[in-house]
Chains A and B, each alone.
Chain A
Amino acid sequence: MKILVPIKRVNDYNVKVRPNQSNTDVDLTNVKMAVNPFCEIALEEAIRIKEAGNAEEVVAVSVGTEKNQEQLRTALALGADRSILIKTEMEVQPLDVAKILAKIFEKENPKLVLMGKQGIDGDHNQTGQMLGAMLSIPQATFASKVEINKDSANITREIDGGLETLSVELPAIVTTDLRLNEPRYASLPNIMKAKRKPIDEINVEELGLSIEQKVKTVKVESPSEREEGIKVDSVDALLDKLRNEAKVIE
């Protein structure tokens, strides 16, 4: 089977992102960019499924500008067989991305779409579920375990109260949570090899889609800061404050 893995280009997760000076957007000038960590986990899982003999091909796909080639090269170095870049200069929102991915799904006919549960930039947590709905195929979100059977998959999901296991018919969309696996690093020979693997480029217009941006960001600001409190020097002093000043315990 074929596995499709969407790859998002985002800020490196170690970088603290701040609003720009005019508070109209975040300031990403000179910020190091990387593959979204949840997408890396999805790609790792796809590669493991292929290594276990349960998939023949892993295709990475990204939506954005020429700069996304960097992240697709990383995906190829990690083990994706080939990749597709859907080019647009516009800022894309989850609904747009899901529409684009639905078109790619129809072209590629994968048996499984493995993708991150959310981007660490917008924190939307929407695209996978939207794609599932558009394609009328089942979804299993926030996966911490993936077991592939012949025509179905058993997916263990991380939910608020613990874990839940679903059996979904394939094709299906699976979105990944943090504990699914620990992604590998790309080896130097694989980084060299990745340079020869293909990146097909398609303009978003060629898919018959236009980007809509139904929701506009009008302001970006830093969260209000809490005032720094005081240090106490003992457990007794702490309990005294909690009982008599904050009055939060008895």
Chain B
Amino acid sequence: MKTLVIVEHDNENISSSTLCAVSAAQKLGQDVDLLVASSTNNIAEKAQKIMGISKVLNFVGDNFKNEIAEDLTACVLEVSQHYNFFVASSSTTGKNLMPRISALLDVQQISEVIEIVDNNTFKKPIYAGACIATVESQQEKNIITVRTTAFEKALSEGGSGQIENIDIPETESRKSVFVGNELTVSDRPELTSADIVISGGRGMQDGNNFALLDSVANKLNAAVGASRAAVDSGFAPNDYQVGQTGKSVAPNLYIAVGISGAIQHLAGMKDSKTIVAINKDEEAPIFKVADYGLVGDLFDVLPELESKI
């Protein structure tokens, strides 16, 4: 049997989380095919170059411009009989889509996998990362979403997969319609793929103070994140949120500023290679996971840091 990975994209580029899903899928030791549903052929042409994949199943139609779960589900079901593993990243797109497929194939999905022990056994965080569960599935088909920080990215060049164009399955009249979006525009790298991330917590005191993080981030070419406490207080938009209910990141350098280190935040960043904590409370739990801790007032530390980088 074979493994099918659902490709996520914005009709121009393939998302880096898909590359992580591909490398997770390759650990299952089966042929890996990709499913692309897009408004252009451009994505399938990029997908076929991903290292180590066999085939690209290509669905092209205007319906697929916005990754509506109902439409993508119909594509996956159309080809599902050839596959016993279905893999996507645990991005909001993967989370939105995969359970819909699972229900129709009568499969209990396994979410946020961080380790593939063998083809029936998986590890995943539960209780906001406070515990790690090892789960076993004896199902004929398995559907998993993988946490991207736990798997390295497959190479986006060097592969030579074959593109197979597939007719769009007939779907009932569309009950779910895209109205619009407001995407955060930034010149800086994306949070989940940045080499350096600097995040602010409740200690930032005000949304305007995030400008202090921005200046440091600009110098380091870093992405800016936030703790849930900062997001809940309205200091930063929700898509900045790092943690169990937000994004998981694992950059080379993670700088936590004014973040106490609640378990929910740690769950989203503790796999970072080097962690720096800047906090005026020397008892803050964040220091327990930091490689380098600096006890001090962030309003003094950040400008000094910015001037000396």
| A109 on the B face (CB < 8 A) | no
Q: How many Å lie between the Cα of A140 and that of B99 in the bound state?
A: 13
Give the residues in chain B near A118, CB-CB below 8 Å.
245
Contact status B179-A123, CB under 8 Å: no
| B224 on the A face (CB < 8 A) | no
Contact status B132-A162, CB under 8 Å: no
| B 234-291 contacts with A by CB, 8 A | 237-239, 244-245, 247, 252-253, 263, 270, 273-276, 282, 287-291
Give the residues in chain B near A124, CB-CB below 8 Å.
109, 111
| A214 on the B face (CB < 8 A) | yes
For chains A and B in complex, what number of residue pairs have CB atoms within 8 angstroms? 252
| B 76-107 contacts with A by CB, 8 A | 91-93, 95-104, 106-107
| A125 on the B face (CB < 8 A) | yes
| A 121-175 contacts with B by CB, 8 A | 121-134, 136-142, 144, 154, 157-169, 172
CB distance from B66 to the nearest CB of A (A): 8
Segment at the interface with A among B23-31, B121-129, B202-210: B121-129
Contact status B103-A133, CB under 8 Å: yes
Contact status A229-B180, CB under 8 Å: no
Main secondary structure of the interface of A (DSSP, over half): mixed
| A221 on the B face (CB < 8 A) | yes
| B70 on the A face (CB < 8 A) | yes
Contact status B183-A161, CB under 8 Å: yes
B104-117 near A? 1/0 per residue, CB < 8 Å:
10111111100000
Contact status A158-B238, CB under 8 Å: yes
Q: How many Å lie between the Cα of A139 and that of B72 in the bound state?
A: 13
| A228 on the B face (CB < 8 A) | yes
Give the residues in chain A near B73, CB-CB below 8 Å.
133
The number of chain A residues with a CB under 8 A from chain B is: 81
The number of chain B residues with a CB under 8 A from chain A is: 87
Contact of B133 among A136, A137, A212, A219 (CB under 8 A): A219
Segment at the interface with A among B34-42, B158-166, B170-178: B170-178
Given known contacts A133-B104, A166-B179, A221-B132, A160 and B276 CB-to-CB distance under 8 angstroms = no
Contact status B111-A16, CB under 8 Å: no
Given known contacts A160-B239, A164-B178, A229-B290, A216 and B103 CB-to-CB distance under 8 angstroms = no
Segment at the interface with B among A74-82, A191-199, A238-246: A238-246
Segment at the interface with B among A54-62, A63-71, A92-100, A200-208: A92-100
Main secondary structure of the interface of B (DSSP, over half): mixed
Contact status B292-A226, CB under 8 Å: no
Give the residues in chain B near A239, CB-CB below 8 Å.
305, 308-309
What residue of chain B has the Cβ atom nearest to residue A177's Cβ? Answer: B238
Contact status B308-A236, CB under 8 Å: yes
Contact status A218-B270, CB under 8 Å: no
Give the residues in chain B near A188, CB-CB below 8 Å.
none
Contact status A161-B104, CB under 8 Å: no
| B157 on the A face (CB < 8 A) | no
Q: How many Å lie between the Cα of A172 and that of B98 in the bound state?
A: 18
Contact status A216-B290, CB under 8 Å: no
CB distance from A68 to the nearest CB of B (A): 19
Contact status B127-A11, CB under 8 Å: yes
Contact status A220-B295, CB under 8 Å: no
CB distance from A60 to the nearest CB of B (A): 22
Q: How many Å lie between the Cα of A213 and that of B106 in the bound state?
A: 12
CB distance from B247 to the nearest CB of A (A): 7
Q: How many Å lie between the Cα of A137 and that of B231 in the bound state?
A: 32
CB distance from A105 to the nearest CB of B (A): 13
| A186 on the B face (CB < 8 A) | no
Give the residues in chain B near A189, CB-CB below 8 Å.
none
A224-250 near B? 1/0 per residue, CB < 8 Å:
001011111111101101100010110
B210-226 near A? 1/0 per residue, CB < 8 Å:
00000000001000000
| A52 on the B face (CB < 8 A) | no
Contact of A178 among B104, B106, B232, B252 (CB under 8 A): B232
| B137 on the A face (CB < 8 A) | yes
Given known contacts A26-B131, A222-B131, A165 and B112 CB-to-CB distance under 8 angstroms = no
Sorted from nearest, which 8 A-B pairs have the closest CB atoms? A129-B99, A229-B291, A130-B103, A138-B176, A126-B99, A133-B103, A214-B108, A219-B134
| Chain A residues with a Cβ under 8 A of chain B | 11, 16-19, 26, 93-95, 98, 118, 120-134, 136-142, 144, 154, 157-169, 172, 177-179, 212-223, 226, 228-236, 238-239, 241-242, 246, 248-249
Instruction: Please list 16 pairs of residues, one from A and one from B, whose beta carbons are closer than 8 Å in the complex, sorted by A's number.
Output: A17-B130, A120-B127, A123-B112, A134-B103, A138-B176, A144-B238, A166-B177, A167-B177, A179-B231, A215-B137, A216-B135, A228-B290, A229-B275, A231-B287, A234-B294, A242-B274
